[in-house]
Amino acid sequence: MLPLWILWVLLGAGVAAAATWLVGGSVALAYFSTHPPRRRPKQTPAAFGAAFEDVRFPSADGVMLSGWYVPARKTEQEGDRPPGAVILCHGMMANRAEVLPWAAPLWERGYALLMFDFRALGESGGDRCTAGYSEPQDLRGAVDYLASRPDMADVPIGVFGFSMGGVAAILAAADDPRIQAVATHGAFATLDRALAQRCRHHFWLFGPVVAWATRTVSQKARWFTMSPSAVAPINAISRLTPRPLLLLHGGRDPIVHPADARDLHDAAAHPKHLVILPRSGHKRIHATVRDQAREQLARFFCENLNATRLAAITDGNQRRHRRDDEPVKN
């Protein structure tokens, strides 16, 4: 049996190692969530045979963003006019190449596409990621860019976002009626919940302690100066109506629990559709449903993003606004 003093030394070393792991993990998570490493896109839309333009445009608050504009592929059904344009938004610690697999089925159906890097990621400007707080300003800048193109005049615009990109899609669309249809995959309901779930995934029982420490470090270091509660798509999603919404989510997502998708769906107004992919995770969609999920996204925009649907939504908004302006009868 080891002497007692050796046991105390071992216990102290274990406690010190655990404390270092927790403190170091909190600092690393706080820093790399707001200052993610930049990675240049290694693929382009040429991967699925599309011609594209390298474009740059400002976000709504002035950060310069880099992206690809993919002109619509002409189809016999639509002729020279595309049925719509779809902006595809990537997730945290990624770049616009992440959404290329989702873009191909849309391009094949004749949609124009815009993919861009969020601030502080890929080849865009900015030095700080805000996990969904400022990123809706980037998406609004992308909508401004599309609306400014002569070839996109009066073409309806839809948005698909993955994870943080899905959060940006919901928050931007809630305040921008130019976005006529919204689809997401892996979007979280609130940043507070997303942080708690990520910490629980990486640090197990110590997750709540690390989540608290991460919030504290981020704010003390002024890396993330706002409260995580300020990023809450669940509070904005009801404002999408009457625009259609599709929520895709992995049933085995360890980063954003499927309960987030269900809560977002419950908070949204019709028309809405929730699809849980039982064997899929956060980034990885199970091979057995991968093509099916991407085709489902394409069908969603085919059914909901076209000139006829745009006219119906615009007319519905006008009628609702007229009702809102009418005097209340006692």
Query: Which residue matches tokens 């504009």?
Result: 69
240 and 220 together in one domain? no
pLDDT digits (tens, 9 = 90+) for 228-282: 889 999 999 999 999 999 999 999 999 999 999 999 999 999 999 999 999 999 9
169 and 199 together in one domain? no
User: Is the pLDDT reported for residue 6 higher than 80?
Assistant: no
Range 211-216, long-range pairs (CB < 8 A, 24+ positions): 213/22, 213/23, 213/26, 214/26, 214/29, 214/30, 214/33
Range 256-264, long-range pairs (CB < 8 A, 24+ positions): 256/163, 256/186, 256/187, 256/188, 256/194, 256/197, 256/282, 257/193, 257/197, 260/187, 260/188, 260/189, 260/193, 260/194, 261/187, 263/189, 263/234, 264/170, 264/187, 264/189, 264/233, 264/234, 264/237
44 and 143 together in one domain? yes
The average confidence (pLDDT) of the chain is 88
Domain span at 88: 38-190+232-318
Phi first, then psi: give them for residue 270, nearest 5 degrees. Answer: -70, 150
113 and 52 together in one domain? yes
User: From the centroid of its chain, how far is CA 179?
Assistant: 14
DSSP element (H, E) containing 295: helix 290-304
Count how many domains the chain has.
2
137 and 266 together in one domain? yes
91 and 208 together in one domain? no
The rounded distance, in Å, linking the Cα atoms of 171 and 79 is: 33
For the residues 191-220, what does the mean pLDDT come to? 86
On whether residue 23 sits in a domain, the answer given is no
For the residues 209-228, what does the mean pLDDT come to? 85
Residue type, 8: W
159 and 205 together in one domain? no
The rounded distance, in Å, linking the Cα atoms of 112 and 98 is: 18
118 and 165 together in one domain? yes
Listed residues 178, 204, 230: the one ending a domain: 230
102 and 205 together in one domain? no
pLDDT digits (tens, 9 = 90+) for 274-312: 999 999 999 899 999 999 999 999 999 999 997 555 555
pLDDT digits (tens, 9 = 90+) for 73-116: 876 555 567 899 999 999 999 999 999 999 999 999 999 999 99
Listed residues 202, 230, 258: the one ending a domain: 230
On whether residue 330 sits in a domain, the answer given is no
The rounded distance, in Å, linking the Cα atoms of 226 and 39 is: 26
Residue 216's pLDDT band, with cuts at 50, 70 and 90, is: confident
The rounded distance, in Å, linking the Cα atoms of 207 and 197 is: 8
On whether residue 29 sits in a domain, the answer given is no
Listed residues 170, 200, 230: the one ending a domain: 230
214 and 250 together in one domain? no
Q: What pLDDT does residue 312 have?
A: 53
pLDDT digits (tens, 9 = 90+) for 143-178: 999 999 999 988 999 999 999 999 999 999 999 999
236 and 225 together in one domain? no
b/e string for 81-115 if b means 16 or more Cβ within 10 A?
ebbbbbbbbbbbbbbbbbbbbbbbbbbebbbbbbb
CB proximity list for 295: less than 8 A, separation 6 or greater: 105
On whether residue 195 sits in a domain, the answer given is yes
The rounded distance, in Å, linking the Cα atoms of 226 and 218 is: 9
CATH number, domain at 296? Answer: 3.40.50.1820
